[in-house]
């Protein structure tokens, strides 16, 4: 089901809102597993219905969310849900709608990236759909291997040039050490490192399905193409 959802404390403080996700906030309804399971309320709704209900915060976080209870709640507190059911999908309908949205969003983002490439006179083709790897400076030596420790200087920015992250951010030293292939970065980042040599500089241009997806992450909104400039400063056998 596609819905708008907020939940929070019984006194009215919001702990979560689906508003940033908009129509992309979709939940699968399941059979209620315990008394007070939110699915009990979900199963009573029809398209267009709005509802508000409270239930045990302890049970919801333990059995439904499978996570520790946030500091906003104390043992024995109630959690208040406010929601509006916008649309119900069968499994087949959801698969078709999801594929349609993915295709539409990918087309929009690829056009934005194409304009960026044209405006900046970049002729490189995609190494795979939505991933552009542009070698700005060639490095020397052997290619980085999985498990190597590498130091990089990097900047993350949007297509309009706004910086959202970098090795200098948050009081950093200007250089980041990491283990190549350890999964600490998005796949395109990892793949880029394994295509580089010491001293190399590259530019990664990524559509959101190769970066932070429809949900986004931190300062990066969902459905947003991004750019990473990465300079590989050093490759060593162990982290310093």
**pLDDT tens per residue, range 138-191:** 999 889 999 899 999 999 999 999 999 998 875 555 788 889 888 888 999 999
Query: Per-residue pLDDT averaged across 118-125, rounded?
Result: 91
Span(s) in the chain for CATH 3.10.50.40: 2-88, 106-236
Judged against a pLDDT cut of 80, whether residue 238 lies above it is answered with: no
Q: What percent of the chain has pLDDT over 70?
A: 97
Tell which CATH architecture fits domain 106-236. Roll (3.10)
6-14: long-range contacts at Cβ-Cβ below 8 A with a sequence spacing of 24 or more? 6/81, 6/82, 6/83, 7/79, 7/80, 7/81, 7/82, 8/72, 8/79, 8/80, 9/72, 9/73, 9/77, 9/78, 9/79, 9/80, 10/54, 10/77, 10/78, 10/79, 10/80, 12/80, 13/72
Query: Per-residue pLDDT averaged across 9-34, rounded?
Result: 90
For domain 2-88, the question of CATH label 3.10.50.40 is answered with yes
Query: Per-residue pLDDT averaged across 53-65, rounded?
Result: 95
Mean pLDDT of the chain: 91
Q: Is the pTM of this model over 0.75?
A: no
Residue 171 DSSP symbol = G
Q: What percent of the chain has pLDDT over 90?
A: 72
């Amino acid at each position: 089901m596609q819905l708008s959802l907020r939940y929070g404390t019984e006194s009215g403080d919001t702990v979560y809102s689906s508003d940033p996700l908009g129509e992309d906030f979709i939940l699968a309804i399941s059979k209620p597993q315990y008394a007070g399971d939110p699915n009990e309320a979900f199963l009573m709704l029809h398209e267009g219905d709005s509802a508000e209900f409270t239930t045990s915060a302890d049970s919801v976080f333990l059995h439904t969310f499978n996570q520790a209870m946030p500091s906003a709640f104390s043992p024995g507190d109630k959690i208040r849900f406010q929601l509006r059911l916008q649309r119900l999908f069968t499994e087949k309908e959801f698969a078709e709608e999801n594929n349609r949205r993915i295709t539409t969003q990918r087309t929009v983002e690829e056009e934005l990236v194409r304009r960026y490439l044209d405006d900046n006179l970049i002729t490189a083709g995609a190494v795979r759909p939505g991933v552009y790897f542009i070698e700005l400076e060639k490095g020397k030596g052997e290619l980085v291997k999985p498990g190597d420790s590498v130091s990089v200087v990097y900047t993350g920015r949007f297509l309009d040039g706004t910086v959202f992250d970098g090795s200098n951010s948050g009081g950093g030293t200007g250089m980041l050490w990491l283990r190549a292939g350890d999964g600490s970065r998005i796949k395109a980042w990892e793949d880029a490192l394994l295509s580089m040599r010491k001293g190399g500089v590259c530019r990664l241009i990524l559509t959101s399905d190769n970066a932070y997806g429809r949900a986004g992450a931190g300062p990066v909104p969902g459905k947003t193409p991004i750019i990473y400039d990465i300079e590989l400063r050093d490759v060593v056998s162990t982290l310093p």
